[in-house]
Amino acid sequence: MQVLGIETSCDETGVAIYHSTQGLISHHLYSQVDLHAEYGGVVPELASRDHIRKLVPLIKQILHERELPNSDIDGVAYTAGPGLMGALLVGAATARSLAWAWQIPAIAVHHMEGHLLAPMLEANSPEFPFVALLISGGHTLLVSVEAFGRYRLLGESLDDAAGEAFDKTAKMLGLGYPGGPKLAELAELGRPIYKFPRPMTDRPGLDFSFSGLKTFALNTYNESTKTVQDKADIAEAFQRAVAETLSIKCRRALRQTGISSLVVAGGVSANRRIRSCLSEMAQQESCDIFFPRPEFCTDNGAMIAYAGCQRLLKGEHEGLEIVVRPRWPISQLL
């Protein structure tokens, strides 16, 4: 089975073709970063309009490059949520229209399920069961994954998601958008002189809270001399605090569940410091750890094509109506 995947939930237009036996055939990504940079964050209406401009040309390009006739596509997968309403509607309407025109099934994919399964696109992929830490701009989730489609929520962020905290802290330090990678870059120049808190690690449970760290960073910045080196030192302390907090919670989740395999995915999992901190913890716990390649940590069409293909193989598909779910808890996914 060969599936076209479409991702338009936020500020990246992603398309991909995944083959159930040959694996990933091709993928393309168009990032809207330059469009939103002057506003310091994603402007939802501009995002929708840009997806409209870019999506169909990208689909044409991927089919043309691979010399694939439409008749070789057996299904169309699209992100139906969670995400920005307008942006989701562009992908959903395009996917449903193509599926209708080509007389093939369409399948709605949960964006976080896409992230969760992204490591499956790698040669060294995890086997079930595993614990998944999903760290993106909108969500921080710890999930026990017993099988494909069997997800048990272990913990989540009670306020800012990890990526959101990176972005807001970066903005406060005047680093602009997209904040996460910029803060990570600056943190490389930082000295380990500040010690930030490790929120919610001194009590039991697997939930997270990152908004206090952002305030801690702001207060530290206001008390500093506000030089570039001060900013770098604060970025380093913030990043170290996030990395160690995630590591403490993952260690706890692995011990609690007795599972010895950890998957880390979502945009923030591209962060080198976080990857090394979690890898070190996994080694201490004698657990295996899996990350997607950096380009599949952030939003992409490949993970949606993969997740959609698995659901289509199970015989699932959507009705004719176009439904998107800007809010869609992963715990409601079966």
Q: Write the binding mask 297 to 316 for Zn ion: x where contact by CB under 5 A, - elsewhere.
A: --x-----------------
278-307 residues near ligand KG4, rule: CB under 6 A: 298-299
Q: Which of 24, 134 has the CB closer to Zn ion?
A: 134
Selected binder of ligand KG4 within 105, 137, 190, 308 (CB under 6 A): 137
Selected binder of ligand KG4 within 81, 105, 190, 266 (CB under 6 A): 266
Q: Write the binding mask 224 to 263 for ligand KG4: x where contact by CB under 6 A, - elsewhere.
A: ----------------------------------------
Least distance to Zn ion, CB of residue 26, Å: 20
Contact segment (CB under 5 A) with Zn ion among 77-85, 93-101, 135-143, 234-242 equals 135-143
> Is position 267 an interface residue for ligand KG4 (rule: CB under 6 A)?
yes
Selected binder of Zn ion within 32, 79, 94, 136 (CB under 5 A): 136
45-104 residues near ligand KG4, rule: CB under 6 A: none
Least distance to ligand KG4, CB of residue 103, Å: 32
155 binds, among Zn ion, ligand KG4, none (CB under 5 to 8 A by kind): none
> Is position 130 an interface residue for ligand KG4 (rule: CB under 6 A)?
no
> Is position 164 an interface residue for Zn ion (rule: CB under 5 A)?
no
Encode burial over 50-65: b for 16+ CB neighbours within 10 A, e otherwise. bbbebbeebbeebbee
179-218 residues near ligand KG4, rule: CB under 6 A: 179-181, 184
Report whether 250 contacts 281 (CB < 8 A).
Answer: yes
Q: What is the contact surface with Zn ion in residues (CB under 5 A)? A: 136, 299
Q: What is the contact surface with ligand KG4 in residues (CB under 6 A)? A: 10, 136-138, 163, 166-167, 178-181, 184, 266-268, 270-271, 298-299
